[in-house]
Amino acid sequence: MLTASPVPGVSTISTLGREELDRRLAGPGLVLRTGAFSTRIHTRIGHLADAIALLYADYPVEAPTAFADFQVRLHRPAGPRHWLKPQVRFDSDGREPFAPLPLAQAYPMFEWVMNWCVSSRAHGYLVIHAAVLERGGRALIMPAPPGSGKSTLCAALAMRGWRLLSDELALLRPEDLQAVWKDLDMPSGHAYAKGLRTVKTCVGSEWCRFGTQDSTQMGKDLERGLFKMYAPHKVKLAVSGCPRNCAESGIKDVGVIGVDSGWEIYVGGNGGIKTEVAQFLCRVKTSDEVMAVSGAFLQLYRKEGWYLERTVHYLERVGLDHVKAKVIDDVANRDALWAELQAALAIEEDPWHKPKEAQVDLRQFIPIKLAEVV
């Protein structure tokens, strides 16, 4: 939930008065302003009105006839359920996306409703699951998966003087993204690029009693060595520390599996709608050889693959023997391909740090202006 500070001259829940608050909630609707959004709320549930009056006391309200981004109604169902194990239901614009809850949970449902409206409809913002606090005019954004403790941490900080803005969602305007990336010195993750996506690993010999090789370090080396690599299509790698193959190396574009004598390298796998098992390419002894062979294969794919052609389809077209001849049998050509790739990556600009040099279309950061209704 957002916390607000009163603004002089602006009507708030507290200045509205409880009688008028109840009238609006039960009648034309309470138009509550929370940050960038306004929500028209309808309810006749008394203890929910009590909670709104207490916890949203300093939030601005607008005229009942004002435009609202979201329309929500929380109500008790008719019939026996009104009295027998009473429930609360929610609908928005005639839809009921949530199952009913016990009536005592009306206020938690209200908070979930507000978050749902923003997360499902605020398409003009980048929505991040995060806790947000403010202090001294600067925001602290703490993104994390559910259950990681961000709500507990932000509650502790709020008790120490931080202003709580949200413990659920953070909204970033597209025009602010480049400034955020610059402040954090954050490189692009290339999450949706036609290029390197991920290098998945198991825990390997460092933490697993079955591991024969240090798959974690090998995965880190591959990811750093191939960072910023573009390709005809997305490329996924995996490194498993033993033949048990916990990282699923057998269904990746490049899969590396640790064995007693070193590493086995597989290519052309696919774990998508139509699963394809990767083909065995070679066995090597050292991590340096893994880097050279993997890099050479990917550079050959970059040069010969068609746009939007995955490695599995590239291998179907040219044949595994063609790849072996150029990457395994011809060592000089393998070294040349690996050197070509390293040289190309050395001059590849990060699209978040230098968008113009990386030929990024900057129009995506220009906010969309809504047309006025005449």
**Strand residues in 173-324 grouped as ranges (E):** 196-201, 235-240, 254-259, 262-267, 279-284
Neighbours of 230 (CB within 10 A): 14
The residue range of the domain holding 322 is 196-346
pLDDT of residue 341: 98
3-state secondary structure of 178: helix
Q: How confident is the model at residue 230 (pLDDT cuts 50, 70, 90)?
A: very high
CA 30 to chain centre: 33
pLDDT of residue 125: 87
Distance CA 155, CA 133 (A): 10
Domain co-membership, 214 together with 339: yes
Domain co-membership, 38 together with 172: yes
Residue 374 pLDDT greater than 90, yes or no:
no
Query: In the sheet that 196-201 helps form, which strands lie side by side, from edge to edge?
Result: 196-201, 235-240, 254-259, 262-267, 279-284
Domain co-membership, 274 together with 337: yes
Domain co-membership, 24 together with 155: yes
pLDDT of residue 340: 98
Is 277 within a domain? yes
Is 5 within a domain? no
Q: What is the CATH number of the domain that holds 262?
A: 3.30.413.10
User: CA dihedral in degrees (62, 64, 69, 73; nearest 10)?
Assistant: 120
Is 353 within a domain? no
Domain co-membership, 28 together with 162: yes
Highest mean pLDDT among 4-13, 26-35, 119-128, 160-169: 26-35
CB contact at 8 A, 281 and 267? yes
pLDDT 10s digits, 275-298: 999 999 999 999 999 999 999 999
CB contact at 8 A, 309 and 270? no
Across residues 185-200, what is the average pLDDT?
86
pLDDT 10s digits, 329-357: 999 999 999 999 999 999 998 888 888 88
Is 30 within a domain? yes
Distance CA 244, CA 130 (A): 36
Please give the model's pTM, rounded to 2 decimal places: 0.69
- Parallel/antiparallel/unpaired status of strands 169-172 and 163-166: unpaired
- Residue 260 amino acid letter: D
Domain co-membership, 171 together with 318: no
- What percent of the chain is predicted at pLDDT more than 90? 66
Across residues 230-237, what is the average pLDDT?
96
Query: Into how many domains does the chain fold?
Result: 2
Distance CA 355, CA 362 (A): 8
Nearest Cα to Cα of residue 182 among 347, 364, 355: 355
Is 190 within a domain? no
Domain co-membership, 237 together with 123: no
